[in-house]
Amino acid sequence: MRLANLYRSTPFRLALAFAVLFVCAFLLSGLVAFDLIKKELNARYDNRTKEMFSTIAQAYADSDIQDVIDATRAHIAATSGQRSLFLLQAPDGRALAGNVAPGSVPEGWSERPGSDFGIKGDYSYRLYSGKVGPDNLVVGTSNEETEELIEIVAGSFGWASIVVILLAVAGGALLASRAQRRLDAVGDTMARVSHGELAARIPLLGRGNDDLDLLSREINDALERLSAAVESMRQVSSDIAHDLKTPLNHLKMTLEDARLKQDRGLPVAEELESLAEEVGAINQTFEALLRIAQIESGARKARFTRIDLNEIFATLAEVYGDVAEDAGDALVWTSDANAEALISGDRELLTQMFANLIENAIRHCPPGAIIRLNVTTSRDRIDTVVVDNGPGIPAEERDKVFRRLYRLEKSRTSPGTGLGLSTVKAIAELHDAVIALTDAAPGLRVTISFPRLGGPSGEAARLHLTGS
């Protein structure tokens, strides 16, 4: 990974930001500790200075300065190097005893560079000055030790900082590059998908349960659905093209016929009639396709109202009872006595859906068939059943019949767009209903299970249907 890329990567930036934050915290805590140590050391040296001052001052007795001079000298003797400073000055400024050149020092605590007293070196001194009888005693301690100690502390702290910064940046870069590799895998996969390789999936590089893996799995699932949708769309467009070819060919042939007849001066009304019919059929196919697309868009959910499915069945039973009778069949409607079958839905679409199922039954059953409509209400579901005792649908075909433009081989010749059941499925799915085709031995049973309005909805439907 190039440096510019590394800098652009989010994980690296995060690691870097974290390292900076970490170092700042480290330095801040170091400064606080440093300050505390320094204060503590100074306090200790001040104590020692004051102690020495007191010891010397105690030697003073009744205007005899000699004992003080002796005590001062003794302390000077005990001092190695120039760590401590002693100066006993007479009121006129003359040095009575001391290890430095005389100078004027104010009473109390003060801090002065060693050069003021003719001491070589850069160190400064903390001085305590006070009266001993008529004379002035100054005791001081150099900050040499403090400085040295502080230097050591600062030095080690500096090294520690460097190590911490290096570790933070290197660790961050390492972690970042690992995260980046996985992000790159996601990016690469998406690039491949956008270039048409719909089967590409993101490899799961983690242990399978971290956030990146969860995200990858989500994306993979989305890709799965997407490619299925694209595949079905491809299927649909080729089906449409295929399905339209036949009627368009018919159109062309009829037109040719009409032209020939026209040339011979014969009337062409019959041909025109048949042309109008063919075009009407093509239009119907498109209408139905558009309608399915519109239903699938889900926009109609906004218009859902409270619907009693019993009312819809009552209407349909009335409308189709006579139609079935004319076809030589019987339509029977049964329902839980007086129980309301309330769902949230779209009356127009639900009417179309059930009308579709009933019409399928009427059209595909030979005369003498019995078509039953049934509505049953349970605690959280409402099951609607349209069942006939006709030829049914072979088990292996039951999934395919929901495909757009799919028609069973045996019904290819009868009129119909092959979109009826696709429409039914789209409407059922819009209502969060689950549709199942089962064998009524003989015949076909179509069960559509709705979540009951006000009942606990959700996965119950699926479990319910697969369980029964």
Binding site for another protein (CB under 8 A): 283-284, 287, 290-291, 294, 299-300, 303, 315, 318-320, 322-323, 326-327, 346-349, 351-352, 355-356, 359, 362-363, 415-416, 420
Both structure tokens of 378: 């349970």
Both structure tokens of 403: 């495909």
Shorter beta-carbon distance to another protein: residue 81 or 415: 415
Q: Are 350 and 312 in contact (CB under 8 A)?
A: yes
Partners of residue 126 on adjacent β-strands: 111, 141
CA–CA distance, 36 with 278 (Å, rounded to integer) = 98
Residue 131: left if φ>0, alpha if ψ -120 to 50, beta else—which one?
Answer: beta
Chain-centre distance for alpha carbon 37: 48
Shorter beta-carbon distance to another protein: residue 367 or 415: 415
What is the smallest separation between the CB atom of 411 and another protein, expressed in angstroms?
Answer: 12
Shorter beta-carbon distance to another protein: residue 6 or 408: 408
CA–CA distance, 136 with 1 (Å, rounded to integer) = 74
What is the smallest separation between the CB atom of 266 and another protein, expressed in angstroms?
Answer: 22
Shorter beta-carbon distance to another protein: residue 350 or 434: 350
Q: What angle do CA 52, 78, 122 make, to 5 degrees?
A: 80
Backbone angles phi, psi at 345, to 5 degrees: -170, -170
What is the smallest separation between the CB atom of 362 and another protein, expressed in angstroms?
Answer: 5
What is the smallest separation between the CB atom of 435 and another protein, expressed in angstroms?
Answer: 18
Shorter beta-carbon distance to another protein: residue 141 or 351: 351
Shorter beta-carbon distance to another protein: residue 36 or 319: 319
Residue 304's closest CA among 295, 313, 291? 295
What is the smallest separation between the CB atom of 457 and another protein, expressed in angstroms?
Answer: 24
CA–CA distance, 160 with 56 (Å, rounded to integer) = 44
C-alpha distances out from residue 307 to 237, 370, 382, Å: 35, 27, 12
Shorter beta-carbon distance to another protein: residue 254 or 356: 356
CA–CA distance, 38 with 293 (Å, rounded to integer) = 79
Alpha helices in 59-143 (DSSP H): 66-78
Residue 378: left if φ>0, alpha if ψ -120 to 50, beta else—which one?
Answer: beta
What is the smallest separation between the CB atom of 350 and another protein, expressed in angstroms?
Answer: 11
What is the smallest separation between the CB atom of 404 and another protein, expressed in angstroms?
Answer: 16
> How many other C-beta atoms lie within 10 A of the C-beta of residue 431?
21
Shorter beta-carbon distance to another protein: residue 82 or 352: 352
Helix, strand counts (H, E) of the chain: 10, 12
What is the smallest separation between the CB atom of 327 and another protein, expressed in angstroms?
Answer: 8
What is the smallest separation between the CB atom of 294 and another protein, expressed in angstroms?
Answer: 4
Residue 97's closest CA among 88, 110, 84? 88
